[in-house]
Structure 1
Amino acid sequence: MKAAYIENGKVLVGEMADPTPGKGQALVRTHSCGMCASEAHFLHAGQNIIDLSRRLGGPYAALDFARPFVPGHEYVGEVLDYGPGSKRTVKPGRKVTSVPIMRQDGAHAVIGFSHDCPGGWGELMLLDEDIMMEVPSDMDDDHAAMIEPLAVGLEHARRGRPDKNDAALVLGCGAIGLGVIAGLRMMGVAPIVAADFHEERRKQAIAMGADIAVDPREIDPYAPLPAFGGRKVNLIYENVGQPGMLQRIIEAAPFEGRIVMGGYCMEQEHLLVFAAQNKRLNIQFAGGEEPQDMELAMRAIADGRIDVTPWLGARIGLSGVAKAVGEMSGPVAPVRTVVDPRTF
């Protein structure tokens, strides 16, 4: 198959071996796959995650950074076939997506960060039939590829255990932060304050349901909110994933504040623990989405409760992947560039 792949920290395009499905595994042809900032972070800091998994255990331990692997974990595709002895849960020809995890046939891999389970930057994938879910046939492929990143934001939102008495601050308004805002809005949380350096992202935060969107270089998002009776935020969602963020949040958070760490920082973080203890802070580390979040994301996109159309930038073929990875951040970068690996 043709694919864009990572090898020794570089994005390349070429031929890769077609994956062969085992028991419980579906062979899927990719239609559309979003490009996530975590893949760009992995180019520079992926070895840290591999080494940590080898030391403490985890699915990244089997990944060899010097060998090619095909990224892409925000995907939609068409079922082609199954491995021998499979239950064949979705008929061939139907569209599917899934939580990007493979647990069948004795495997425990993250799809897109595995030599055995290539991701959506390639023409073919293997998906776990037990967690694969069928996508409505009339759902646009690019919208369907946004189910996974939206689901991550919805998972992070609920991890904060928000209620209607909370005032929430969402730091970073990429796809995950926007998903957090959408999730909080659906749960009736208000006010929601969004903070991002980029004007376009702040506009999208308002469209997604934030009450206020500020540039934190100009307005302190932790200060009393004049538009809301002088309230301060008490529930803070971090969606940036850069070292130093947690310590800065700890220093700015209010007494008995709650912090949800959703950004995927792949570098070591240094903390002054006493600063958090002194304020009696609760810090919750959010992970990836679960099937319930995928189901909610799919329904919300399908019925129009959440419009992901503004997230979508260019739709590219494989030859444009390396350039798109290099341009993933910045004031004019779209929330998501989408790859169609069937085109070059």
Structure 2
Amino acid sequence: MKAAYFLDGEVHVGEMPDPTPSKGQVLVRTHSCGLCASDTHFLHAGQAVIDLSKEYGGPYASLDLAQAFVPGHEYVGEVIDYGPDSKRAISPGRKVTSIPIMRQSGTHAVVGFSNSCPGGFGEYMLLDEDFVMEVPAGMDDAMAAMTEPLAVGLEHARRGLPVSGDVPLVIGCGAIGLGVIAGLKLAGIAPIVAADFHKSRRDLALKMGADIVIDPRELSPYEPIADLGMRQVNLVYECVGVPGLLQKIIQSVSFGARIVMGGYCMEPEQLLVFAAQNKRLTVHFAAGEEPQDMELALRSIDNGKVDVSAWIGARIGLGGVAQALAEMSGPQAPVRTVVDPRKL
């Protein structure tokens, strides 16, 4: 199959072996796949992630960067076939997406971060038939590919146990932060405050349902907010993942606040426990999405309750992957560029 694959810290486009499904595995022809910041992390610093997984436990410990692998974990594809003795619940020709986890046939891998389970930057993928979900007929491929990134934000949103009366603050309005805003909105939580240094991201936060957006250089989002009748935020979602930010939040929030750590920080973080204890703070650590989040994300995109169309920038072929990954970190970059591996 044709694929964009990673090897030796570079993006290559060429032929990779066609995957063959085993029992419980679905062979899928990829239609669209989103490019994620985690793809660039693995391109440039993948060994650090692997080493952390080996030392502390994590899903990436078995990935071997000395061998080529095909990234892409935000995908939609067409069912082609199943491995022997599979359930075959979804008919060939139907489109599906899934949580990017493979647990069938003795394999435990993250699709797109595995040498045995190629991701959506290739023409074909293997998916776990227990996790695949059928995409509604007529749904745009690129929109369906946004299911996984939206689902991450939905998981983070519910991890904070939001209730009526909360005033949440979302720090960082990339895909995760925008998904958190969407999840809070779906749960009927308001008002929602969002903070980001970049106007384009703050504008997207408003489109996703934020009520107030703040440039932290101009106004502290932790202080009483005039537009909220001098109320203060009490539930903070950290969606950035830079060292020092958690301690900054601890120092800044008011008594009894809750904090959700959603941004992935792979560097040591120093905390002054004294400050957190005196304020009786609660810190939740969020991770990846679960099947219930994928189901809600797909349903919400399909019925229009969450509009992710503003996330989608260019739609490219395999030949554009390297450049798109190099350009995706800037503030003016789209939330998601989408690759169609059927095109060069």
Distance 1:270 1:341 in 2: 43
Q: CA deviation at 1:268?
A: 3.1
Matched ranges for 1:1-344 at <5 A: 1-344=1-344
What residue identity is the alignment partner of 2:41?
Answer: H
C-alpha separation between the residues in 1 aligned to 2:274 and 2:116?
Answer: 44
Is the contact between residue 45 and residue 267 of structure 1 (CA under 8 Å) also seen in structure 2? no
Give the C-alpha shift of residue 109 in structure 1: 0.5
Q: Is the 8 A contact 1:96 1:132 kept in 2?
A: yes
- Secondary structure (helix, strand or coil) at the match of 1:301 reads helix
Inter-partner Cα distance in structure 2 for 1:113 and 1:273 = 35
Alignment partners' CA distance in 1, 2:88 and 2:73: 22
Q: What amino acid sits opposite 1:243 in the alignment?
A: P
1:309 counterpart letter in structure 2: S
One-letter code aligned to 1:258: R
How far apart, in 2, do the equivalents of 1:270 and 1:328 lie?
A: 29
Identity %: 71
Deviation digits for residues 189-232 of structure 1 (CA, Å, limit 9, x no counterpart): 11110111111111111111101111111111111110111011
Q: TM-score, normalised by structure 1?
A: 0.97
Deviations 1:92-142 (A, max 9, x none): 100000000000001111111000001101111000001111001210000
Q: CA 1:21–1:284 in structure 2 vs 1: closer, same or farther (change >3 Å)?
A: same
* Partner SS for 1:61: coil
CA displacement 1:154-192 (0-9 Å, x = unmatched): 111000000011100001111111111011111121111
* Secondary structure of residue in 2 paired with 1:213: strand
Pick closer, same or farther for the CA change 1:129–1:251 going to 2, 3 Å: same
Q: Closer, same or farther in 2 for the Cα pair 1:17/1:262, shift >3 Å?
A: same
Q: Secondary structure at the match of 2:181?
A: helix
Q: Which moved more, 1:321-330 or 1:92-101?
A: 321-330
Cα 1:67–1:190, aligned 2, differ >3 Å: closer, same or farther? same
Contact 1:160–1:259 (8 Å) recurs in 2:
yes
> SS of 1:62's equivalent?
coil
Letter matched to residue 222 of structure 2 = Y
Contact 1:70/1:118 (8 A) holds in 2: yes
Q: Give the distance between the partners of 1:52 and 1:60, measured in 2 at CA.
A: 9
Deviation, structure 1 residue 51: 1.1
Inter-partner Cα distance in structure 2 for 1:243 and 1:38: 17
May I ask how many residue pairs the two structures share in their alignment?
Answer: 344
- Contiguous gaps of at least 5 residues in structure 2: none
What's the CA shift for 1:147?
A: 0.7
Query: Judging changes above 3 Å, is the alpha-carbon distance between structure 1 residues 79 and 145 closer, same or farther for their aligned structure 2 residues?
Result: same
CA distance in 1, matches of 2:14, 2:235: 46
| Partner Cα distance (1:340, 1:41) in 2 | 21
Cα distance, 1:212–1:264 mapped onto 2, change above 3 Å: same
CA distance 1:248–1:8, change in 2 (3 Å): farther
Shift of 1:3: 1.1
In the aligned structure 1, how far is the partner of 2:278 from the partner of 2:85? 57
TM-score by length of 2: 0.97
For 1:135, the aligned partner's letter is: V
Q: Which amino acid aligns with 1:242?
A: V
Residue 60 of structure 1 and its aligned partner are, at CA, apart by 1.0
Amino acid at match of 1:131: F
Aligned AA (2:294): M
Amino acid at match of 1:269: E
RMSD over aligned Cα atoms: 1.2
> Alignment partner of 1:105: what SS?
coil
Amino acid at match of 1:235: L
Whole-angstrom CA distance in 1 between matches of 2:126 and 2:177: 29
Distance 1:214 1:259 in 2: 18
